[in-house]
A and B are shown apart, each in its own frame.
Chain A
Amino acid sequence: MLILAAALTSTWLIWSGMIKPLLFVLGAVSVVLTIIMAVRMRLLRKSVFALALLPRMFGFWTSLLIDIIKSNIAVAKIVLSPRLPIAPTLLRLKTPTPGAIGQATLANSITLSPGTITIDSHRGELLVHCVDQQSADELRAGNHGERVNRAVAGR
């Protein structure tokens, strides 16, 4: 609860950027209201926020960023080439991560890199739509799931 309060307060201060009495009081009131609502929704009992994962996530984000840039260039080439060489492929992917956070991270990171979109997530299986054969092959061969696993579960 204290962590949430600190995070909300710092968010408010960053967004407003000025410290006037009125704004400060408004911020305090909204922080308190948000915490009351979060407690009533029992959000604090489950570890939804997963703040403890944050330090390990940075390495994963860096490698994800490189992936995103690479696949951006690949998809831009496809879009701008006159023949439009697409070959849509559906791919069923088993996820190695059991937890909800891990699956969400994996699905979102697949969607985030252009050329692959997760369109269904059901019982540990992801249905991924790929724009061409190459991106499907990369996903099939790649160790994406293992990287997510390492970042989330620390294994």
Chain B
Amino acid sequence: MTLVVEWLSNLMLLIGGFFVLTGGIGAIRMPELYSRMHASSLTDTMGSMMVLGGLAVKAGFTLVTLKLGIVAVFLLFTSPVSAYALGNAALVAGYRPLADKSESAHGAESKS
């Protein structure tokens, strides 16, 4: 039983780490701000949820688990607000999204 719990939490931590890493790679690879924000939202949601969930499984039914759950809920409530603030500030500052260009032109740009 403990072995199963241990491996489950390890698996969740591994998945969380994978998504955090993917978010970081995406933030570097994407061509402009708004697309970078899409990549970093991987880290915000799946990364944090899986890492905190894995730690909670490892901790068992203790006060630590309750705190981790509250941290996760707070993160899920606040991270979209900060993402909205960032995106809206960029929009208000006049930074136009790369949305009107056609797909092919965009693909050619990102290949280089």
Contacts and interface: CB of A to CB of B under 8 A. Distances in A.
Are A and B subunits of one complex? Answer: yes
Interface of A: 14-15, 17, 68-69, 72, 75-76, 78-80, 83-90, 107-109, 111-121, 127, 129, 131, 133
Contact of A75 (B38, B79, B81, B90): B38
Interface of B: 19, 22-23, 25-26, 29-32, 34-35, 37-39, 41-42, 45-46, 49, 63, 66-67, 70, 76-77, 79-81, 83-84, 87-88, 90-91, 97-100, 103, 106-107, 110-111
B25 to A, nearest CB: 6
A145 B110 CA distance: 33
Name the prevailing secondary structure of the A interface residues. Answer: mixed
Given A112-B76, A114-B41, A119 B84 contact: yes
Contact of B97 (A14, A80, A90): A90
In the complex, which of the residues A112, A114, A129 has the most CB atoms of chain B within 10 Å of its own CB atom? A114
A69 B22 CA distance: 14
Given A79-B25, A79-B39, A88 B76 contact: no
Given A88-B106, A118-B80, A131-B38, 8 more contacts: A78-B26, A79-B25, A88-B35, A89-B99, A114-B42, A119-B91, A120-B91, A133-B103
Contact of B45 (A85, A87, A114, A120): A114
B42 A72 contact: yes
A129 B99 contact: yes
Contact of A68 (B46, B81, B88): B46
Given A14-B63, A86-B30, A112-B79, A72 B88 contact: no
